[in-house]
Structure 1
């Protein structure tokens, strides 16, 4: 019979493994062995395998925990702050807490055979909180009306990449702030202007992958590029089929 103390120890060990795994994946990428994660967590390899039989299950749990933390942050802001302040504060939380976690998009899209009901439910909760905060800020007049939840997700992914690319964190956060300010009504472009070489500046500004937000090369002719590569294209197709 398992005692209450044993169950509490198991919960603590699971939390240690998740924290260590999140740090290890962010620092070393997905190739970090489970033995290294066990060492960081201060537990034996057997403890890791009891909770997470393989790396895919562990990755799913790490991502789910990350999203759960963001959902809780969004709900707190929704309850404590005015709509516009809550919305932009939540976006900064997403950007800062996603630092070093650029592997998530490729991992989640790479293998559709994962047993992912927990992850899918968590993603749905995240999108509900994000959408509620966005719509509340729009009703309050703090965010331009032509922005949707998918736009916000793509923008925050790009901002997280911007922050990760700058060694000077304050400078990176300044760029993030400038980017997010583009969501405010005062930043709405009402007059078409040529930017350079006959290209519309707005075309260059929105040239990003519809799935992960990565920058794309604008083509002067032909069909517009929508995705950065096969992984995001397949992920978008699976999302459409699932819907």
Structure 2
């Protein structure tokens, strides 16, 4: 006899899968890759068989969790693109990526620790994320909101650095302020530090240091303490003139 799967059964399966993914994301964030699948099943309120039916291996579960997290980012970026001006959508998407990076850190580390995993689902999601980022960047540049020489790889590297910067800060608000200052560097501006020009002191040269005893010019060394005397004779003379303690 053929078993017919009804719409109710399919909706139950989708709900169970979503519950497992949510529970797994929390468990991996708290305990890393070593958390047993049985613990994840109990957290999700389903049987272990339900977990194995959807995800036959823990590797498949980790990949699905990370893919879902990135997929949620893609969805947020698409919403921003549909509702906001190009420049606002681009910078809003970057702040979404950076602001949620901490919640993905453990799963990302698990995936990065072993590059041999077959990960077709995750690969496809990452490709969608990069494609959306490129589209948002191009639209913002055409609107005049982002410097024209910036490329997608530059943006990816910058967001990774900003995520690491916020993770290192205990003060979340201060971290976000630094992120905004950093992202402002992507906006068109007058030539500055990114133009490769050398830095010069427009106030003119500093006066050369002089020996404290004889006034002779001193040569500054690249390391160590700044010199105070031109030689041993002046150093000894200075020591003799010190008052006895």
In the other structure, the counterpart of 1:79 is: 82
1:79-228 to 2 correspondences below 5 Å:
79-186=82-189, 189=192, 190=195, 192-194=197-199
- Whether the 8 Å contact between 2:147 and 2:187 is mirrored in structure 1 is yes
**Cα separation, partners in 2 of 1:66 and 1:188, compared to 1, 3 Å:** farther
Shift of 1:191: 5.5
Kept in 1, the 8 Å contact 2:24–2:65? The answer is: yes
Q: Report how many residues are paired.
A: 195
2:45 to 42, 45, 50: 42
| Contact 1:100/1:164, CA 8 A, preserved across alignment | no
What residue number does 1:231 align with? none
* Normalised TM-score (structure 2): 0.72
1:57-68 → structure 2 map (5 Å cutoff): 57-68=60-71
Cα offset for 1:51?
Answer: 0.8
For residue 102 of structure 1, give the secondary structure of its aligned residue in structure 2.
helix
Shift of 1:88: 0.2
Provide structure 1 residue ranges, at least 5 long, that are not aligned to the other structure.
196-243
* 1:13 maps to 2:8: no
- What runs of 5+ residues in structure 2 fail to find an aligned partner? 201-245
Q: CA RMSD in A?
A: 2.1
Report deviation, 1:111: 4.1
Other structure's SS at 2:164 match:
helix
Q: 1:188 to 1:4 in 2, by over 3 A?
A: farther
